[in-house]
Amino acid sequence: MKKIVITIICILILFVYQITKTNGESLKPVSTDFVVIKNQKVFLDVADNREKITRGLMGVDNIAENQGMVFLFKKHDYKTFWMKNMKIPLDIVFISNEKIAKIYKEVPVCEKDPCTLYGSKYKIDSVIEFKKGFCEKYNVKVGDKIKFSQDIKRKKAGLKEN
């Protein structure tokens, strides 16, 4: 009887460990929301409301090279991002009128407070987070033009203040 109880306890411990180990997410593929940058098409998860903007890529532990997240803002303003509660490092690109205004490459996760803040020097209207190394690999630079899909442009046009 004692062996059975110990075996059951061991199985439960392994089960709980597996659940906590694999609680991360992968970014889900998106079909119509994308950006073209340096002739590369990157599918984007769109953060276009307060809840999505606040959550961002928290909890995501893997994204493909052709995936990312775009944060859309109704009006041009100074924005600041941080990597608190993130699981993966990212490239963060600040954009104004479909032109790159600022790039932070290979931004590390923040493991303890205070977290570093990454901000724009200029007023921007969107930010894209790419997989770490994307900007280096494709030679993405400040001043480069990008092209949002029509679906993203429509979402941006329909935004409320955020």
**Using an 8 Å Cβ cutoff, are 89 and 129 in contact?**
no
Give pLDDT, residue 1.
60
pLDDT digits (tens, 9 = 90+) for 12-69: 344 434 433 434 555 555 458 999 999 999 999 999 888 999 999 998 999 999 999 9
pTM value is 0.80
Instruction: Just give the CATH number of 2-157.
Output: 2.60.120.1140
Give pLDDT, residue 26.
57
Give pLDDT, residue 35.
96
Give pLDDT, residue 19.
38
Q: Is the pLDDT of residue 10 over 90?
A: no
Q: For residue 58, which amino acid is it? A: M
Buried b (16+ CB within 10 A) or exposed e, 22-40: eeeeebeebeebbbebeee
**Using an 8 Å Cβ cutoff, are 118 and 107 in contact?**
yes
Give pLDDT, residue 32.
81
Spell out the domain ranges in the chain.
2-157
Strand segments (E) across 56-114: 60-62, 67-77, 80-81, 90-96, 99-107
